[in-house]
Structure 1
């Protein structure tokens, strides 16, 4: 039941474009005692179908600028390769800390940024 709830909340966040991994990864580590690397792997598998549904929905609404997307995809592929290699080499405890710091930075930014 807890995994279904985690997936539901992660899906909502993903559909909003925020990134379901911000919910999914910490939840798997905290509530299921999963190693950080495994949680990241699960996140990647879960991401695919969720991203496809979100992509279709946003495409139908005309919310995608393909000229930006092409450039970001190229950088994202290179970053994914490097990030995956690094994640496998970093100790799980250090990876948790890096991920936690990243979430704090993003959360702080979201709290203090000016309204558009």
Structure 2
């Protein structure tokens, strides 16, 4: 949640205060237990590297590969995302994607 508000700020869709508010809200939700922090499942790093090497046409960042590897490890059915590369890579193993980049405007949201 750090990069999306920063990207919006750089695009001129948000200001620095909004960016900081989004991150502060995330930190507060973690403190309140709304979002749970868990250790990464064993084998996540290897799975992330495997995703990067198996999809050269989708240049996944290391962080995005970790997200997808964790989603696979916990058998997630849906992934929320705005990054086109990650969304494309998530479709390969059959993980559904709820987009929040405006590309699915009008579609029902979870």
TM-score of the aligned structures, taking structure 2 as reference length: 0.28
Please state which structure has a larger fraction of its residues in helix.
Answer: 1
TM-score of the aligned structures, taking structure 1 as reference length: 0.27
Please state which structure has a larger fraction of its residues in strand.
Answer: 2
Structure having greater relative contact order (Cα 8 Å, sep ≥ 6): 1
